[in-house]
Chains A and B, each alone.
Chain A
Amino acid sequence: MTAVLQILFDALSVGSIYALGALGIALIFGVMRLVNFAHGDYIAFCVFAMLWPSLDVVAIVFIGNLPWFLLIPVILGIGAGLSIISEILVFRRLRDANPATMMITSFALGFVIHNVLLMFYSSRPKAINLWSNLSLPVEIMGARIPLLQVITIVMTIVILLALVTFLRRTQFGVEMRAAAEDFTMARMLGVKANRVIMAAFGVSGALASCIALILATQTGVADINMGLPVMLVAFVATVIGGLGSLHGAVIAGFLIGGVSVLLQVFLPLEARPFRDAFVYSAVIASLLWRPQGLFAPKSSKERV
């Protein structure tokens, strides 16, 4: 029982990170048909934003010293701001470009952010000590679970509920859902395109900063490559979930998290280093079974 609970919490907390990442990507894909590959670099940027720029081996914590109730909104603001700025400066000009052009541009933007970090912080991973007391375990029904895992899962659920409420209950949310489904039509009906797209980028960037805070606390390291693996899995999750489907992206994020944790536990010891090969085999199988994704939005059937 204890072991099961442990696995469940592991799966949910890994899945939470993937789900938040997938949601960030799906939101922008929804309104712009853009897979923003710079998303992983937004995550790394938000982690490094807590540090003072320096090439020293030791991290000089700066914003990261703020008390949590200030640090969280500041980092969320930085993530949202970076994302919105990249929309205004880069993606807005490409709105009518084909998806391949936009995708390559997002790669390029990712490289730019990556190299800016490289320039100011060097490529060496730096140890940071953010909310280290969160790694202490708490006991839940006999299982010892790190407090951070519990917080990660609870926060993810809160964020998802908040987002669902935002999308369902607010004027902005309804406009965003309409634009995500049929952008041209929404625009013709008077939905303000710039506002909706900026909001989508803002929310997506804020989601990237949530991941940054979780990763930095979990690993205790600031590494300019740290967003990349999350971005990759999150992208895969949006595809499996059905591109354009927000809830599909979230569920697929949790699924991939669950599958990788289960494989980590149950694969024979000698096969464990190749866990990711098994995860991605499952991805291929899933796509062969449902190429349109598990939860393809109704609207996408018509477009094909």
Chain B
Amino acid sequence: MTQPLQAKQVSVSFDGLRALSDVTLDIPPARVSGLIGPNGAGKTTLVNVLTGFQSPTTGSVVCDGRDVSGLSAHKLRRLGVARTFQGGRLFKDLSVLDNLEVTGVGLGLTRREAASRAVDMLDWVGISHLMTDIAGSLPYTDERRVGIARALMMAPSFVLLDEPAAGMSAHEADDLADLIARIVKDMKCGVLLIEHNISLVLKICEHIHVLDSGELIDEGDPAHIKTSEKVLHAYMGTQGDVDMQGAIL
């Protein structure tokens, strides 16, 4: 896919409460973009909108030049827009292999094809040793990696990673950074990284979007974001997230 995945003036309201206001952003193909913002900024809501899990109240989502705002998550997935979830959201009673297979079958493969792709994908991500493990028994970080492998089934054009580094050690986050680089380079897949680990975002993203209270307050390359007054204010104005402030300061 040569065109970006776009949110155009997207607003989302829940019972009168505005979760997103007039957000416009592009996720370019085959590059890593970042999405940061304090807790409750609306990051996951934006991911939900971009992947069809939530319809925008107003505005639109454009994929490959086509308005896909009303499409279901499954249809968008078939168009090549995949995602991971904060909690992993794997099928915990199923094996790792079955988790990937279900995705392949859902995307139209036969079971045999799905199984063979799943094996290849686990190998590619470097977790083929987990294949027969029950997903619910995996440690946190492995669960994340299986979630990413599942999202990468059938080589999507875009993948939105919702806090993939949460709970990871510095070393594990480095491995994740390498994996993301390979996703872009080998799969030519556009990545949107939603993260609280700001140093990871600054390190690997070419372009970063900053969301606060449902509004896009700034965007630019890492150098710009590091020195942005608005970004600093957004984070300083909220409690917690010491890590973030530390990374920026």
Contact = CB atoms under 8 A, between A and B. Distances in A.
Interface of A: 170-171, 174-175, 177-178, 181-182, 185-191, 297-299, 302
B77 interface: yes
A189 to B, nearest CB: 4
Contacts of A171: 105, 110-111, 114
B34 to A, nearest CB: 25
Interface string B89-110: 1011110001101110111101
B73 interface: yes
Contact of A174 (B77, B107, B108, B111): B111
Given A171-B110, A171-B111, A299-B136, A190 B105 contact: yes
B92 A190 contact: no
Secondary structure at chain B's binding surface: helix, strand, loop or mixed? Answer: helix
Contacts of A190: 74, 77-78, 103, 105-108
Interface of B: 53, 72-74, 77-78, 87, 89, 91-94, 98-99, 101-103, 105-108, 110-111, 114, 134, 136-137
B106 A174 contact: no
B105 A191 contact: yes
A190 B94 CA distance: 17
A298 B77 contact: no
6 contacts: A171-B105, A174-B102, A190-B106, A297-B93, A298-B134, A299-B136
A191 B94 CA distance: 15
B7 to A, nearest CB: 19
A241 to B, nearest CB: 14
Contact of A298 (B53, B92, B105, B111): B92
Contacts of A297: 92-93
A179 to B, nearest CB: 9
B74 A302 contact: no
Contacts of B89: 182, 185
A177 to B, nearest CB: 6
A189 B83 CA distance: 11
Given A170-B111, A174-B94, A181-B93, A188 B74 contact: yes
B118 to A, nearest CB: 11
